[in-house]
Amino acid sequence: MKNLISLSLHVAYVLLVLQCLGCSDKLPSTIAQSPAPNYGTKTLTTQGEVVGFYMPNGTAAWRGIRYAQPPLNDRRWRSPIPPTAWPEPVMALNHAPRCPQLATRLDHGVEVGMPIGQEDCLFLDVYAPSDISNGDKVPVMIWIHGGSNVWGGADQYDGSKLAANQKVIVVVPQYRLGPLGWFAHPTIQGKTTGAIAANFALLDQQLALKWVVDNISAFGGDPDNITLFGESAGAFNVFSLLSMPGSEKYVRKAILQSGAPSTHSLDEAIHGEHGSVAALAKLGSNHELSANNLRELPVQALLNVFSNNDKINVVSQIADGVTLSSDGVIGNIAQNYGTVPLSLIIGANRDETKFYTAFNDKFVWRLLGKLPIIRDSDFYEALSEYTNNYWYQAAVLQTAQQLNDADIKTYLYRFDWDNQPDFLGIEISKLIGAAHTLEVPFIFDSFDNFLEPMGSMFFSEENEQSRNLLKSEMQSLWGSFAYSTSGSPEGSQWQPHSTKEPFILQLDADQKLQVGRLNYKYPSFTEQIHELRTDHRVPSEEKKCIIYEEMRTLHSMIQQNKQFSSKCPFISED
């Protein structure tokens, strides 16, 4: 009887997971109750008092603190400005609504593709350890979240465990996303309106940084010791923030997880495939595209014209000449920090691209129409190997070389943990492995609610020991870097990277920690093309060209290798 009940529960769980992997059906939602305010957390900011609460682990938390005036109506597509003062204490107990976006499969209780969030969204969360002594000032870590710059919010990241374990203050700001955060159009950036920025998301993040500088000492933080850290789009944004004038006054350390320095031209943002002209043309010829009309356009209509197949497409990191120049991100970082020290941690995950290929029907078929099964295991592994080698070489190693040339101290890592259990006979370690974003729960100690319900496929009792070992090590490395006055992860074997002495720290664990110098030489792009020509796992020209095209897609994100031809080199000439 017990076995029958266990089997029934297992089947029910499997069906739930399968449902959430591939459908847009509405799922039951839960409404979290507001925590009770604790007036012992009452803190005075430049705008007024805020009251927070204590998390179960004793960390003090303030959620939903406004750092900018609402970017509504005439303030849409303008630089954010500080909020006005509030006369009464604000109960900072709940995450603020996300910035406008389209729901994904990871947003429970909402149909995929439905608009969620609100424009009045420029808030941040603060997490502080409870054992800060009076007068002490602990390091501050500001997390810039990922999500392709079109999705996500502060509610996805609980900084309480990182704050408590490393005795740091963690700040998680929200910023405008999609066409509200990244927008260029002649009526907005035109001669009649004057030259203004197109990267409003970056301006939001910059104002959040300024808010931290002005207020964090009241929470026990050190405004002179701030570390920016971000993942995916968040890391792209951190690179851009460092290149913007003024960042050198406040930031001397940054951690960039699975990102790269990149800019796109203003012309692409306006006239390109995903530019504003093509998107706004969907409104129809009867819609006058004046600045006032665009600012009055309902959010849902704006999201709709910039979306395709329930996904928003925008050009971000726009070289608008105001926030970002066309001179290159690294060059501007070098100029900003010419007389000021800057230390960086840069890295990526070994199997970054499996996050995308595992759910791409070109490479997998669906069990019961939902659960992805690899079509061709040899080709799947070859695809992963070539695309991930290209990503690391272009996004990490080439970037590190440019930073070394600018005398900026850089530490490199590669995240390799892939101890996922098998699921219904499927080797999740091969399907997903050390994929994109998988390192995030190791930093935040958030295994319990990571990408649910899929997270339960990744983390189990069987791999609890290995992930906890690696979690503690990674938190310690990130925390010691935040504490360091020399810009080094103190107390570790991690050495700065240099072209003459390459050093990549491998982050992995099984029954024991496997953290040490990575013994692997990444092939150049030319070497990869040569290897692919004779790779027995990819016998056909067609499949070789598929791999080449996937590498070219990565190039469009990174834009490091300017010689990447659109013509597949494996097609035989007639």
In order of 260, 272, 352, 498, the CA distances from 401 in angstroms are 13, 31, 21, 7
Whether 436 is catalytic: yes
Least Cα distance to 319 among 228, 259, 240 occurs for 240
Among candidate residues 145, 148, 160, 232, the one labeled active-site is 232
Query: What type of residue sits at position 18?
Result: L
Q: Which runs of E-coded beta strand occur in 84-205?
A: 90-91, 101-102, 115-116, 123-128, 138-144, 169-173
Separation CA 556–CA 117 (nearest Å):
29
Among candidate residues 231, 248, 352, 385, the one labeled active-site is 352
> Taking a C-beta distance cutoff of 8 angstroms, is the pair 60, 127 a contact?
yes
Whether 326 is catalytic: no
Which residues touch 554 (CB under 8 Å, ≥6 apart)? 353, 387, 390, 391, 394
First vs last C-alpha separation in the chain? 68
For residue 184, with 0-12 CB atoms within 10 Å meaning exposed, 13-18 middle and 19 or more buried, which class applies?
buried
Separation CA 152–CA 237 (nearest Å):
14
Residue with tokens 């389209």: 102
For residue 195, with 0-12 CB atoms within 10 Å meaning exposed, 13-18 middle and 19 or more buried, which class applies?
exposed
Residue with tokens 């159009």: 185
**Cβ neighbours, 10 Å, residue 520:** 12
> Taking a C-beta distance cutoff of 8 angstroms, is the pair 82, 214 a contact?
no
Separation CA 280–CA 283 (nearest Å):
6
Whether 108 is catalytic: no
User: Tokens representing 80?
Assistant: 């954010």
Among candidate residues 264, 436, 497, 555, the one labeled active-site is 436
In order of 207, 221, 254, 315, the CA distances from 69 in angstroms are 11, 24, 27, 25
Separation CA 153–CA 172 (nearest Å):
9
Active-site positions read 232, 352, 436
